[in-house]
């Protein structure tokens, strides 16, 4: 009964956008070369604003931290 993995098969991460895409949360357009937070699992991308990518990144980091604490 070990759940070592997060509910994300592939870890979300900061990437440099290679294509023009729309933020999944706000109307902003992410242009090539801008940093964006990407969920490979759901192919969801968020811009780097506080409410979008940075917010998601904080949630993920908190989840990873909890996981490490539980695994110790």
List of residues contacting Zn ion (CB under 5 A): 23, 25-26, 28, 47, 49, 52
Q: Shortest gap between Cβ of 49 and Zn ion (angstroms)?
A: 5
Coil, helix or strand for 70? helix
Q: Shortest gap between Cβ of 55 and Zn ion (angstroms)?
A: 9
Nearer to Zn ion, 34 or 67 (CB): 34
Q: Name the burial class of residue 12, with classes exposed (0-12), middle (13-18) and buried (19+) by CB atoms within 10 angstroms of its CB.
A: buried
Nearer to Zn ion, 42 or 70 (CB): 42
Distance of CA 29 to the CA centre of its chain: 17
């Amino acid at each position: 009964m070990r759940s070592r993995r997060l509910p994300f098969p592939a870890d979300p991460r900061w990437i440099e956008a290679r294509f023009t895409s729309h933020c999944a949360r706000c109307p902003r357009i992410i242009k090539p070369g801008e940093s964006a937070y990407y969920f490979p699992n759901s192919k969801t991308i968020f811009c780097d604003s506080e409410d979008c990518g940075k917010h998601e990144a904080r949630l993920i980091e908190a989840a990873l931290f909890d996981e490490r604490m539980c695994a110790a």
